[in-house]
Amino acid sequence: MSRVVELPRTVAEKMIAHARAGKPEEVCGLVAADDTGHIVKVIPVANAAEHKIVTYYMDPVEQYRAFKAIEEEGLELFGIYHSHPATEAYPSATDRRLAFDHMAGTPLYPGAVYFIISLADEQNPIIRAFRLPDADTVEELDVRLV
């Protein structure tokens, strides 16, 4: 797969708006692509974590509805996004741990791109993208706004 993610500006703007609206808590959601692999939609999902300031956990019912909507629209999961309201856009140890089945050690969403929106500099939000092929590896992808 490509080392460059082409992220439509409209999708990036929705992700950033969601992150700003949720600050100081982390927000999260899904990113969907069409059958050609082009990102076409972002679906916010409520953060059900106990400590939303420092982590996220997608509300299971909303997450199910989001996956169902993706399927019904003939789309596919491209990635998962969440925000870091006050820290850099890089997967924390918790982010990496939560991306894997702790029993089997396998990725929960193989091939998914993990987007992180940093609002550490509120005037200049940053979106970075990563693959997490195993629990010890973080591969950064270039994000190109289109």
Mind telling me the catalytic residues?
26
Residue type, 37: G
The CA distance from 132 to 114, in Å, is: 8
Segments in 45-104 forming alpha helices (H): 60-72, 93-98
CB atoms within 10 A of CB 47: 20
The CA distance from 139 to 131, in Å, is: 5
CA angle 66–67–71, rounded 5-degree value: 115
